[in-house]
A and B are shown apart, each in its own frame.
Chain A
């Protein structure tokens, strides 16, 4: 970055700081985008809008955190959207039948998510099949289970306890409950990765599996654990999905794995494994949710939306890659250590 040296002023310091942290880059991009969009559409920053948009982003952030951990180990979980769909539907059906009180139904859903993650992890590590293949299979299998449970029916809001869906936009001290849940999970998983031996093992397995093995890291156990956690978080996201939408279809959350992986990648978690943070993944989810909302609010031609959305993702990732290229090598070395 020769330019930075040439201009040691404010701008130089800002770009320097941005280059050091993907998370800061994203925060800057988010602030910049909000400023630009609110010029064109002042309502963009209204509280009721932000509550709804950030509550949905929270669901993707939580699923994205699980996906980020998987990607850090140089794996991928394509089945997460079916986990979300299955858990959302299962919780809905359980509540429709009145079998369990609400908190118990949620726990059941989260437990099922964990179980699905363990299935992924077990098949991948025991049979040593690439995760992309295994989760491509379970993507269909888990969705197939939803179709069996659903039997052609959806869960309607009238099937659920009164006021159930209002939980999604309830706020505590002005912050949506869903956002608080996401922040707590970011903090817990972030600390787990940052401060614990297990966390260092996750990065080690992803950056250099052979070196990790020499160091005595049981990479298959780490991989199994990471998929289990991803399943658990997918389960939490599934419970929240059901609450947020209130109406749950057998096809609910179909196709969202692309959005989740996009959040992870935009958040700076390298698809090559070994780097990234869950804070980045969560910010990536927030960024994409805001971009999506902004594009709609600006009333751009409907047929252009998808292309623009994709272009924005590419620009965001490339801008960051340019800013952080200098630091990337250092980060990889650090993770491998």
Chain B
């Protein structure tokens, strides 16, 4: 108990310091603030240690209020390593900002099963709901009801329908991911030539569909003109279905060069199928995956490169946005800017069209860097 209260106190001081530095000047002082709290995130707590308690006490009420919020995180699915790492980021943010956060959700990725969790959180009167939508429209009515009840709704990972959230934190700009996927496919297809196919998650998965569309947009460029689009198949983020789909892709397209799977389950399944079919070196797999899930296939040659964003930071940013919404420092309208000291090198984030905030560009893993990220992500 004492540990918690000390931690809260320190976190409160940290918040005050952050708010003070952010408020002192809107333009030049943002640089020193970012130096005081670099990307490693940890030093945030060490900053206020030197701040006298009197200063904290004299902080205006409005600033004190912009600390933490009681938030519920509803991922697509619980017991999913990806969402658990994102949740770690949210927990870190809650600790840094002096709030609380819990994670609840369905054990299978099913939108209809997400709704009761939203309704329960609404009844409980939490400060904010942070959600990755299994289906954009299915969760929308429940989320709108939550917003009417005064709860701030932040989407992360997979967006609810526009209007059913205050801010959506996009892990990476859709166009950026689409471009990344197209580039990796181009890298892996010999001379950027040949057939490529996409193994997606569910047909209704908002993020997957947007990335695939963006990938196709990128591929209209002359650079990709020799890549032949064999189409999209859906593995539902189910290992068995993804495996069956990947097996069928190899048969249906004997000249296939690259399978692009923008899903952590799908990319592993496809890489294993290529290995089992003894097509290593003639069919390559890329997309979005986790370092630990893919390390064996990166080194084995099935998947020489793939991408992902910093998942911990995604959860951190989602909570930080929820806290700022709850405090009223942002409203979620287009054009607003805000800073999160430990992210984006302390540079401001801008809320874009449809109240979307972008975490940053995706990061490409290959045999040279993967070991390091297996260690740091732990998934």
Q: Please list the residues of chain A having a beta carbon within 8 angstroms of any beta carbon in chain B.
A: 41, 43-44, 46, 48-49, 51-53, 56, 143, 147, 150, 152-154, 156-158, 165-166, 168-169, 245-247, 249-256, 292-293, 296-299, 302-303
Contact = CB atoms under 8 A, between A and B. Distances in A.
B251 A168 contact: no
Interface string B218-242: 0000000000000111100011100
Interface string B189-233: 000000000000001000000000000000000000000000111
Contact of A53 (B239, B247, B292): B247
A53 B244 CA distance: 8
A48 B243 CA distance: 14
A147 B233 contact: no
Nearest to B277: A48
A300 B275 CA distance: 26
Contacts of B233: 296, 302
Closest 8 CB pairs of A and B: A296-B248, A152-B84, A43-B251, A157-B296, A250-B79, A158-B296, A169-B276, A48-B277
Contacts of B250: 48-49
Interface in B251-308: 251-252, 254, 265, 268-269, 272-273, 275-279, 292-293, 295-297
Given A48-B279, A152-B84, A245-B243, 8 more contacts: A49-B251, A52-B276, A165-B276, A251-B77, A251-B107, A252-B239, A254-B107, A293-B244
Contacts, number: 112
Contacts of A252: 239
A43 B254 CA distance: 8
Determine the main DSSP class of B at the interface with A: helix
Nearest to A53: B247
B59 interface: no
Contact of B272 (A154, A245, A253, A293): A245
6 contacts: A52-B276, A152-B80, A157-B297, A252-B239, A255-B238, A297-B251
A156 B293 contact: yes
Nearest to B378: A153
B266 to A, nearest CB: 11
A46 B240 CA distance: 20
B234 to A, nearest CB: 5
Contacts of B254: 43
A247 B268 contact: yes
Contacts of A51: 276
Given A150-B79, A165-B272, A169-B276, A158 B292 contact: yes
